[in-house]
Amino acid sequence: MSKITTIAVGTVLGGWLFTISAPAQHLQRGRWASEDDPIAKRMIQMERDWAEDGCTQKALAGAFLADDFQGTAPGGGRYDKAEALKRDPVPEGAWLPPRRC
């Protein structure tokens, strides 16, 4: 087959495949959780706890991070779950400036 024929056949097959698979993308509709849904309430509370972690200093990340967690620091360095869970040591009796929480 010539190069043009190959491109044409590929284009037609690609378009056909897209046309066939497009209806399958609409089979499941999204919905809002009800106000008394316990799973939704728990997820919202977990998100709130995560957002407030810097202010409350609760060790919450252990519940969110997988055992094989790998993170990337802003400088490009990699770190694992144990490193992510470390807190900066605060000497006993040290004064900390107030956080903007």
Model pLDDT for residues 30-82, shown as the tens digit of each residue: 788 898 999 999 989 888 887 777 676 666 667 778 889 898 988 999 998 88
Query: Does a structural domain hold residue 21?
Result: no
Query: Does a structural domain hold residue 55?
Result: yes
Query: Does a structural domain hold residue 82?
Result: yes
Tally of domains within the chain: 1
Query: Does a structural domain hold residue 60?
Result: yes
* Segments forming the whole domain that contains residue 70: 33-87
Query: Does a structural domain hold residue 10?
Result: no
Query: Does a structural domain hold residue 73?
Result: yes
pLDDT for 26 equals: 63
pLDDT for 38 equals: 94
d(CA 36, CA 11): 50
d(CA 65, CA 83): 11
* Residue 90 clears pLDDT 80, i.e. is over it: no
Say which residues have a Cβ less than 8 Å from residue 62's Cβ, sequence separation at least 6.
81, 85
Query: Does a structural domain hold residue 96?
Result: no
Query: Does a structural domain hold residue 19?
Result: no
